Amino acid sequence: MRVFLSFLLLITTCISSMSQQTQKPPLHGKNWMAITGKPLAAEAGAMIFQKGGNAVDAACAMLAATCTMWDVLSWGGETQALIYNPKTGKVIAINALGIAPTGATVDFFKKKGYNFPPEYGPLAAVTPGTPGGLCTMLAEYGTMSLKEVLAPAMQMADGYPMDAQTANSIEKNKDQIKQWPYSKQVFLTHAGQKTEAPEAGEIFRQADLLQTLQKMVDAEQDALKKGKNRKEAIYAAYDRFYKGDIAKEFARSCQEQGGLITQEDLAKWKVMTEEPLKVNYKGIDVYKLQQWTQGPSMLQALNILENFDLKSMGYNSTRYIHTLYQAMNLAFADRDFYYGDPYFSKDQPMKGLLSKEYAKERAKLIHPDRNDPKIGPGDPYPFEGKTNPFIQNLRQRIFGFNENPIDENYLDQLRRGTTSIEAADKEGWVVSVTPSGGWVPACIAGHTGVGMSQRMQSFVLDSALNPFNVVEPGKRPRVTLTPTLAMKDGKPFLAFAVQGGDTQDQNLLQCFLNIVEFGMTVQEAVEAANINTNQLWLSLGGTQVNDRKPKPGSILLNTNTPDWIRKELKQMGYTLSFEDRTSGPINAIYFDWKHGSFWGGSSNHGEDYGIGW
């Protein structure tokens, strides 16, 4: 009787909380929608829409603006995108992730005493991907010129009012910034004073970056004058960045500061346009990027959860939280061992990992009344008719738990931020992007004004951790970045993405279920209380193996979690921690085909902002 009454109270509490007014109003529009991590950057997208651009044009403008604002990325980072093309009815995947440079080998890093490649500095850098990714998306799927799309970002590079979040980050990290001469010149506008970073509201100017963007635009305009078409002219700008004078200065300054990137590394890198991976969850096709991201882990979790009646459990009931936690652990255990650059190995068992049959077997491992601290990778190879070639690696897996406290440093490693970009238009174009890399404290590449990526740290140096993600020149690291598109009845259903390291697919999974299983509006879904598991290998930060090991049973809950649920979870073997905001920050666009309009959800978690018309 007590359990039944608790369940009724839970349902009443959930319905009450879900029906309350959201902290931010939902966005509405019938012509277009632009959402990203900063108000100024969302306005850049709106400006492009107002000039007649499509969703790809607007997404590129927002990408350029967020990079220029260091939110929390820069031009030397990486871009991951999903694009729905209404002309073909297909979802396209953009892989604009950089590669490990010449000389980036296991022996190189181990001789320097590293257990993982470093978190910061020139040795943390893979080749820049965002300039190429932006040019490729714009050339292939946009309508406007690079000059038009970069105009807002170039105005910002010429001077924009610094926001408090970035100013505080610069000040907090100023000791590291001082190690790199070009970074010091850009960021520490009050060098020698008590506060050396720009003040909030101060006009922050980036002359070198403005010159770099101008060079790209000049290359495009010169090509147009010579009779090249729009696409060819944009690729001329691409070539100037990766093969011209910008590349020369980038490589020179990277090596000057102790990095490895060469002009040849930049010249041979290219953007990849790919087929995304997908699964069907109760009639909805959910698309993710390939296994060079962690995106397929959400698809695996959906397959596992399809074996349970989640709706009957109730939103964030003890059973629901437990089932989610276990499903995510199973998916992340496979992520940690099997995901990596598909261009370096054809043995990755993605067909098996994403099969419904494999998911059913994994679901059987979930104990209904306790957490399993020993969950490890499964064996998906038999589900695609093969024998696992890495059985020995599985036997050599590094065991043990991360016993460090959950402090500010651990949470930074777990949830290291970036931004997200969502755009849609009335013609049917939809874009979901999770760009990142080159965040503060960034090592700036000479007089380019471009902050170098820090994505090298997502490689491993030991095949016992993951045989597919061992660092190697020319290889892409397995990243946490993971935009999402969902389609229903052949039409866009939901476009959504989030920042936050290893928590990204955890929060996106729950946002999706909030809408599909519990009928929340998109704004309710992006604000709703989520849980996070720490029972996974960290993808970022930490120089020692112990720093990155899983924390079995460690769970983050919202501070409003009822006392009886806390007690029941503790009895199931969980260690609880709490925060008042556990939802993201998530940005999303829901497609209301009944009324022919867009619903936008912009997180209440940070500075994310959206504009619709």
> What's the pLDDT score for residue 85?
98
Judged by DSSP in three states, 270 sits in coil
> What's the pLDDT score for residue 4?
37
Name the percent of the chain in helix, strand, coil, to the closest 5. Answer: 40, 15, 40
> What's the pLDDT score for residue 20?
56
> What's the pLDDT score for residue 405?
76
Q: With residue 195 as reference, give the H or E element that holds it.
A: none
Radius of gyration of the chain (CA): 23
| Letter string b/e over residues 213-230, b meaning 16 or more CB atoms within 10 A of that residue's CB | bebbbebbbebbeeeeeb
pLDDT, tens digit (0-9, with 9 covering 90-100), for 186-214: 999 999 999 999 999 999 999 999 999 99
Q: Does the pLDDT value for residue 13 go beyond 60? A: no
Residue 156: inside a domain: no
Residue 47: inside a domain: yes
pTM for the full model?
Answer: 0.95
Residue 437: inside a domain: yes
Question: How far is residue 205's CA from residue 211's CA, in Å, rounded to a whole number?
Answer: 12
> What's the pLDDT score for residue 19?
46
> What's the pLDDT score for residue 606?
84
| Letter string b/e over residues 488-516, b meaning 16 or more CB atoms within 10 A of that residue's CB | beeebbbbbbbbbbbbbbbbbbbbbbbbb
Residue 305: inside a domain: yes
Q: Are 287 and 82 in contact (CB under 8 A)?
A: yes
Domain total for the chain?
1
Give me the sheet containing 532-533, strands edge to edge.
Answer: 532-533, 554-558, 575-579
Q: What is the dihedral of CA 55, 242, 341, 282, to 10 degrees?
A: 0
Q: Range of 305's domain?
A: 1-115+267-613
Q: What is the dihedral of CA 491, 600, 66, 509, to 10 degrees?
A: -70
pLDDT, tens digit (0-9, with 9 covering 90-100), for 461-500: 999 999 999 999 999 999 999 999 999 999 999 999 999 9
pLDDT, tens digit (0-9, with 9 covering 90-100), for 207-253: 999 999 999 999 999 999 999 999 999 999 999 999 999 999 999 99
Residue 322: inside a domain: yes
Please give, one letter per residue, the 3-state secondary structure of 510-536: HHHHHHHCCCCCHHHHHHCCCCEECCC
> What's the pLDDT score for residue 12?
38
Q: Percent of the chain scored above 70 by pLDDT?
A: 96
List alpha helices for 20-105, DSSP H: 39-50, 55-68
> What's the pLDDT score for residue 593?
97
DSSP states of 488-503: ETTEEEEEEEE--GGG
CB atoms within 10 A of CB 12: 10
Please give, one letter per residue, the 3-state secondary structure of 122-182: HHHCCCCCHHHHHHHHHHHHCCCCHHHHHHHHHHHHCCEECCHHHHHHHHHCHHHHCCCHH
Question: How far is residue 172's CA from residue 175's CA, in Å, rounded to a whole number?
Answer: 8
pLDDT, tens digit (0-9, with 9 covering 90-100), for 512-543: 999 999 999 999 999 999 999 999 999 999 88
Residue 157: inside a domain: no
Residue 108: inside a domain: yes
Tally of residues, the chain:
613
| Letter string b/e over residues 279-303, b meaning 16 or more CB atoms within 10 A of that residue's CB | bebeebbbbbbbbbbbbbbbbbbbb
> What CATH number is associated with residue 363?
3.60.20.40
Please, what sign has the CA dihedral across residues 435, 439, 443, 447?
Answer: positive
Whether cis (ω within 30° of 0) applies to the bond prior to 585 is yes
Q: Does the pLDDT value for residue 5 go beyond 70? A: no
Q: Are 223 and 232 in contact (CB under 8 A)?
A: yes
pLDDT, tens digit (0-9, with 9 covering 90-100), for 36-77: 999 999 999 999 999 999 999 999 999 999 999 998 999 999
Residue 40: inside a domain: yes
Q: Does the pLDDT value for residue 179 go beyond 80? A: yes
Confidence of residue 407 (pLDDT cuts 50, 70, 90): confident
Q: Does the pLDDT value for residue 181 go beyond 50? A: yes
CB atoms within 10 A of CB 160: 19
Whether cis (ω within 30° of 0) applies to the bond prior to 368 is no
